[in-house]
A and B are shown apart, each in its own frame.
Chain A
Amino acid sequence: MKHWWWKILAVVLVLAASITALKVPLKPALVHVSPDRIAPGPVTLEITGYNTAFKDGERVFLMNDGQYVCPSGVEVVNDHFLRARFEVPAGLKANLTDVYAGRVHMNGALFTEGLGKGIVAPQGCGPGPKFIDLFDFAFPNRNILYETIRNLNFHVPMWFTMMVLFGISVVASIRALGSNDLRHDMAADLSARTGLVFCTLGLITGSIWARATWGAWWTNDVKLNGAAVSALIYLAYLVLRGSVPEPGKRARLAAIYNVFAFVLLILFIWILPRLNAVDSLHPGNGGNPAFSNYDLDSTLRVVFYPAVLGWIGIGVWMYTLRLRLARLQHHLDDANHP
């Protein structure tokens, strides 16, 4: 129990975070209101919700610049679909009107015509009493992202783990250069290989996510370029190792390349987003809001940080296992061919 507590912790964290990440529901939201514009006169709005539980007598109303418009009739079709008839008055102030249905709403859902200086005698409807559910643990429900938001807890930890493993590899390479000890070289090799596994996983999860949200498997984006460069650098590192047969020379050449490439990679990841800040679809880059802005009540964070820690633990464990196996193999070879 002394020195393997962290392995148990890593497994527990990854399992708990993954199950939570897949099981937690999204917050209810309105996803579609049709038509998308209103003019003075009668109109029937078809309102589609996601993860909502519409029921008869649902509190539906429109809000325009703080003034409410009440429906003349509401027909709830099912949990997530209802129709509401409105008699839209002339003279609403703002050109965008919000739609409220029960506990969810959609801001700026309706483009509004026939504007004026406000409607007379606001009618007797509006938000109900504030409803607080203590067990309401749900992920943010965002436009475009929707259910894919869960992927945050799988995709991003892969990159964190990859960088940790490549970092271990570089430290081992520096020590190999300083000591000429082949054991450090073995550590650098195996951590780089394990890092590449996580790089591949990060590319796969990211590619699927990009297809679902941005519509393409690969885009020209600073983060994707960084990922491509890191993958290429460590594949080249393996090619270099493969092309030098003599162990001592291989260790030195590989270590030099590793240090050189890693420093330039870090510089690249650090400098380039600052140079062309407009060029990214990733949250937190290119003027996009960071993910933390989506996560106003920290439900994602509660799952994300344990996932990162857990995956880093799993990655390091994988690397130490491979290292032990390689050392045993090495001893075995030595024993067989003295």
Chain B
Amino acid sequence: MKPREIAALLRMEVLLDLRQKHAWGGMLLYVVSAVYVCFLAVKGGLGTATWNALFWIILLFAAFNALARSFQREDTGRQLYLYTLADPRSVVLARTLYNAATMTVLSLLSLLFFALFVGSEAMEQADLPQFLGAVVLGGIGFATVLTLISAIAARAGNGLGLMAILGFPIVLPMLIAVMRASKLALDGVAFSVNGKYFLGLALLDLITVLLAWMLFPYLWRD
């Protein structure tokens, strides 16, 4: 653990993304398009369960789209340069943190667009802090799982296609738990009942980060 190295790497990520504004634009456009397709397809009047399912499907695919580029933007030369400068574990932690932050913002923005277009009737009875908590925790969960998957897919030299195949079965458990948690939050169930889902999700996130931290150095060897 080298906090200063991680901070420096995080700063690099932010700077790179600020320089490539089209990347963020692309992610947002993807979400808005997906939401608009849903809006055209269903035209409001959804039940809570369907509303919740649609939202998570959109967020899932947005996450795949956003995180696929996480390790893709480095060509071999720059990767090699980075290896000589930093500990691989710092790199994966910094990137996981950055992806988690990205997904937090992206999931809240997705929710905003989704509520705007598809309607927010489903959120009327919701326990709002709990629901937002589920959305953010779900986004962070996707980010932690898909960071390592994105690295594997990028190393295999096959982009989004392979990432979807590798990532989907691993994200599925998280998706089931987070969909359940957010559905219960939308129904206004008390945190004392719903809390175990949050605990389970947090535990999954933690173990995922730990696994990525342990496995990533092997991925870097070449």
| Partner-B contacts on A (CB < 8 A) | 177, 225, 228-229, 232-233, 236, 239-240, 243-244, 249, 252-253, 255-257, 259-261, 263-265, 267-268, 271-272, 274-276
5 nearest A-B pairs in the assembled complex, by CB-CB distance: A232-B169, A268-B173, A233-B169, A256-B215, A236-B165
Contact flag A261-B170 (CB < 8 Å), given A239-B162, A271-B203, A275-B177: yes
In the assembled complex, the Cα of A210 lies from the Cα of B126 at a distance in Å of 36
Could you say which residues of chain B place their CB within 8 Å of the CB of A244? 156-157
B26 at the interface (CB under 8 A from A): no
Could you say which residues of chain B place their CB within 8 Å of the CB of A252? 218-219, 221
Whether A240 and B152, one on each chain, are in contact in the complex, defined by CB atoms closer than 8 angstroms, is yes
Most chain B CB atoms below 10 A, which of A177, A261, A275: A275
Whether A243 and B219, one on each chain, are in contact in the complex, defined by CB atoms closer than 8 angstroms, is no
In the assembled complex, the Cα of A268 lies from the Cα of B165 at a distance in Å of 18
As a 0/1 sequence over residues 111 to 150 of chain B, the CB contacts with chain A under 8 angstroms (1 = contact) are 0000000000000000000000000000000000100110
Most chain A CB atoms below 10 A, which of B155, B158, B170: B170
| Partner-A contacts on B (CB < 8 A) | 145, 148-149, 152, 155-158, 162, 165-166, 168-170, 172-173, 176-177, 180, 196-197, 200, 203-204, 207-208, 211-212, 215, 218-219, 221-222
Could you say which residues of chain B place their CB within 8 Å of the CB of A225? 172-173, 176
Min CB distance B52 to A, Å, is: 15
Min CB distance B203 to A, Å, is: 7
Whether B166 and A264, one on each chain, are in contact in the complex, defined by CB atoms closer than 8 angstroms, is no
Q: Which residue of A lies closest to B171 (CB)?
A: A264
Min CB distance B215 to A, Å, is: 5
B156's partner among A240, A255, A263, A265 (CB-CB below 8 A) is A240
Min CB distance A185 to B, Å, is: 13
Whether A263 and B162, one on each chain, are in contact in the complex, defined by CB atoms closer than 8 angstroms, is no
Min CB distance B142 to A, Å, is: 13
Could you say which residues of chain A place their CB within 8 Å of the CB of B145? 264
In the assembled complex, the Cα of A274 lies from the Cα of B204 at a distance in Å of 14
A264's partner among B155, B162, B208, B218 (CB-CB below 8 A) is B208
B176's partner among A177, A264, A272 (CB-CB below 8 A) is A272
In the assembled complex, the Cα of A209 lies from the Cα of B112 at a distance in Å of 45
Min CB distance B152 to A, Å, is: 5
Could you say which residues of chain B place their CB within 8 Å of the CB of A257? 149, 152, 166
B219's partner among A228, A256, A276 (CB-CB below 8 A) is A256
